[in-house]
Chain A
Amino acid sequence: MSILEFERVSYQYPSEDFDIIDQLSFSVEPGSFHCIIGVSGCGKSTIFRMTNGLLQPKGGTIRVGGVPITEQKHYCGYMPQKDLLFPWRTIGENLALPLEIQGGTTKQERRELIDAALADVGLEGCRDKMPQELSGGMRQRAAFARTMLTGSDLLLLDEPFSALDFLTRISMQEWLLDQWQRHKKTILFITHDVEEAVFLSSSVLVVESTPIRSLREIPVPMDYPRTRQDLSQPEIVGLREQLVDMLRKQVTP
């Protein structure tokens, strides 16, 4: 059974006269890592914003774990492009946000969960620091830990590393793969960086045109665990070129 399923989903922005998402159907198997790749403004973030409930589709059904999302809560963890750590809360208090809102945990339980989550992302001892004291990569790891604490099996990551410098970004990519393999979550990852998409995903979902009527699935012929050296294999280099060509056709300079 697929963990996420779009069935003929459409969405239209009030300011536009066409459906930016037009009868889109696709599904995602549990435990997979997919990157959705497309040019800026193609509507890939709209797919996320419908999945997490911030936007209501005009038509069609979105199911998570076989159940329509309108009938459930707390089914996905969403991490936006900016880390959005609240600057007036310490790192620990930031991580507490999803737990506080979902309720049902005592202060002591929350504290234990937060300490475990921080240790897991390599931020032991940062619980009482303010977000401003952390570097960009550390902040993204804290934001990821907060997303993990939603407790959902489906994680939606919307260009989480795009604001980081190159070296931090590639080490965060390796770190994220490691996290994914240890926690067996399903990750959907939006990016417009072809290399990032190829390095991370088991198969890339390409947005070939706007409005989005389908996502073209292109498998990446590489086993996990991966290293950056694998990116120079001839078939991977070929795949990268193929993806760049597909995207460049849509860009009008």
Chain B
Amino acid sequence: MKKACKGNLPALLFLFALLMLWQLGAMKIDASYILPTPMQILRKLWELRVILFTVHLPATMEVTLIGLAISLVLGLGLAVLMDVSPFWQKALYPVVVASQTIPTTTIAPLFVLWFGYGIWSKVLVTILITFFPITITVYDGLRSAKVEMAELLLTYGATKRDIYWKVKVPCALPYFFSAVKMAVPMSIIGAAIGEWLGAQSGLGYFSRRMMTQLDGAGVFSPIVLLSVTAMVTVGIVSLLEKRLVRWRGES
């Protein structure tokens, strides 16, 4: 723990300096509806704590978690399918890559048209943003399995199933965790974007509502909360990874 603090010290110092600069700059401009100071944001966060933590944070987390879960199932499924079958690899890989050229934010209003203001339009935005990194990273992980290791197992009389579980899956596991760590912040961003475009609750929705009221600090405080949530979730995933992956990358 002490070591971690020491390692992060330069980053913390730099962050603190930036916040100081922001604070002083915002105090000089003195227009909190455009640029609130960090202190004002924190104060706002405290004032709004009940509604933010009991209504809007749970709404956003619900979208994030449902979207992430579906993305994981979809991404893992596609990755395994492409790894097992050359036909599906040829059929799917270009389409998956092409799907990333769609500017999700601009077509998201369509989802609101199709699915309404309920949860599913937002879940769809989240899925579209996150399934790609999961699919491609896990697929690369499965591909990274060494042929020699599979061959060695074949000489022991291994079946395809043995090779999948004993070589491919362990090789792909570190990649899987990298994918999840990438996907978590993206899924939270996806949920917030969805809420900006049309929702009845959620941190993205709340931030937008404050915008219309020219409440600068009110715009920022849910955003701060989103960032912190993303950081905490990535931290939890990293802890899980440390427990499950005893080995990473090159041998």
Binding site for B on A (CB under 8 A): 52-54, 73-74, 76-78, 80, 82, 84, 86-89, 97-98, 100-102, 130-132, 150
In the bound complex, do residue A74 and residue B247 qualify as a contact, i.e. CB atoms below 8 Å apart? Answer: no
Nearest-neighbour CB distance to chain B for A95, whole angstroms, equals 12
**Nearest-CB distance from A98 to chain B (Å)?**
5
Give the chain A neighbours of B148 by CB distance below 8 A: 80, 82, 84
List CB contacts (< 8 Å) of B161-205 with chain A. Answer: 162, 166-167, 170, 173
Is the pair B246, A52 in contact by a Cβ cutoff of 8 Å? no
Task: Give CA–CA (A84, B153) in the complex, Å.
Answer: 10
Residue pair A132, B251 in contact (C-beta under 8 Å): yes
Q: Decide yes or no whether B48 CB sits under 8 A from chain A.
A: no
**A88 and B247: CB pair below 8 A?**
yes
Of the candidates B152, B154, B173, which one forms a contact with A84 in the assembled complex, judged by CB atoms under 8 Å apart?
A: B152
- Cβ–Cβ < 8 Å partners of B157 in chain A: 73-74, 101-102
User: Which residues of chain A are near B170, meaning CB under 8 Å?
Assistant: 86, 88-89
Most buried by B among A78, A80, A82, A101: A101
Give the CA-CA distance A245 to B155 in the complex, in Å.
Answer: 35
CB distance from A216 to the nearest CB of B (A): 27
Check if B154 sits within 8 Å of A54, measured CB to CB: yes
State A97–B155 Cα separation when bound (angstroms): 11
**B155 CB to closest chain A CB, in angstroms?**
4
Q: Does B87 make an interface contact (CB < 8 A)? A: no
Nearest-Cβ distance from residue A253 to partner chain B, whole angstroms? 30
Contact A76/B155 with A130-B247, A132-B251 known, Cβ cut-off 8 Å? yes
Q: Describe B's contact surface by its main secondary structure.
A: helix
The reply to whether the CB of B158 lies closer than 8 angstroms to some CB of chain A is: yes
- B154 and A97 contacting across the interface, CB-CB below 8 Å: no
Chain A residue at smallest Cβ distance from B148: A84
The interface residues of chain A lying within 8 Å CB-to-CB of B154 are 53-54
Judged by a CB distance under 8 angstroms, whether B156 is at the interface is yes
Tell yes or no: B69 within 8 A of A by CB.
no
B151 within 8 A of A: yes
A101 close to B251 (CB less than 8 A): no
B73 within 8 A of A: no
Q: A102 and B156 in contact (CB under 8 A), knowing A80-B148, A84-B148?
A: yes
Nearest-CB distance from A90 to chain B (Å)? 9
B246 and A130 within 8 A (CB) = yes
Given contacts A87-B247, A130-B246, contact A101 B149 (CB under 8 A): no
Check A84/B158 contact, CB under 8 A, given A130-B246, A130-B247: no
A64 to B128, CA, bound (A): 56
A80-B152 in contact given A97-B166, A101-B157 (Cβ < 8 Å) = yes
With A80-B148, A84-B148, A86-B170 as contacts: A97 and B153 at CB distance below 8 Å: yes
Given A82-B148, A84-B148, A86-B170, answer yes or no on A53-B251 (Cβ-Cβ < 8 Å). no
Looking at the assembled complex, report how far the CB atom of B35 sits from the nearest CB atom of chain A, in whole angstroms. Answer: 50
Chain A's closest residue to B170 (CB) is A88
With A80-B148, A101-B156, A150-B156 already in contact, 17 other A-B pairs whose C-beta atoms are closer than 8 Å: A52-B155, A53-B154, A74-B157, A77-B155, A80-B151, A86-B167, A88-B170, A88-B173, A88-B245, A88-B247, A89-B170, A98-B156, A101-B153, A101-B158, A130-B246, A131-B251, A132-B247
